[in-house]
Amino acid sequence: MLHLASLTYGYDSARRVLDIAAFHLPVGRHALLLGPSGSGKSTLLHLLAGILAPQAGRLDVAGTSLPGLSPRQRDSWRGRTVGLLPQQLALVPSLNVLDNVLLPGYANGQRPDPARAASLLGQLGLADKLDAYPHALSGGQRQRAAIARAIVMRPKLILADEPTDNLDDEACAAVVALMASQAAQVGASLVIASHDARVLAALPDAAVLRLPRTGSAA
């Protein structure tokens, strides 16, 4: 699923954010990117999603070498391959829950599947919220809607950025279990970026890549 080697990224010549010697994740396995704030976890997620391009090194995701793609090609690849759960859930306030979940299909020029979206929302306990707007949802309900949006197109890779921030222990374990179970349903690998050590306890079989604050990793 993932193969990284001699991967580097920096926002300017004087500040290297990431320097990863090697990391490999087989298909079907999950991974945790652990490290404190400022260690480059979000940057690495953006590289894995094809939002950013590496400055040097190997970055193969789901059988595709991302450094060889143009920005437009990466955008098209991301729409077919990646489900993204950002730290800021970014539900569109003017759209109801069902339409928020259908957005990836519209954005990628694919045919949306309202029946699948409604079924996912039902599985996630939101069957009665399809017509509700984000402002009317609790924080947990917004998060579950965002999870449905991330997996509705059956991605090969699900990327989640700090999904357990500000959650108590029970909610943390429940969110990680929910994401892992939903990934299993669509046959996807799950990569979670977090500074929360509890995530490791909630997903003990995951491969771990630790990113120190210096931005270097092995």
pLDDT above 90: residue 95: yes
State residue 214's pLDDT score.
55
Whole-angstrom Cα distance, residue 117 to residue 131? 12
Residue 149 vs residue 171, higher pLDDT: 149
pLDDT at 127: 96
CA distances 150 to 22, 69, 143, Å, are 27, 23, 10
Neighbouring residues of 137: CB distance < 8 A, sequence distance ≥ 6 = 97, 129, 145
158 or 165: which leads in pLDDT: 158
* Domains along the chain with CATH numbers: 2-217 (3.40.50.300)
Q: What is the pTM of this model?
A: 0.90
Q: Which of 201, 164, 149, 203 is nearest to 181 (CA)?
A: 203
Q: Which of 73-77, 131-135, 161-165 has the lowest mean pLDDT?
A: 161-165
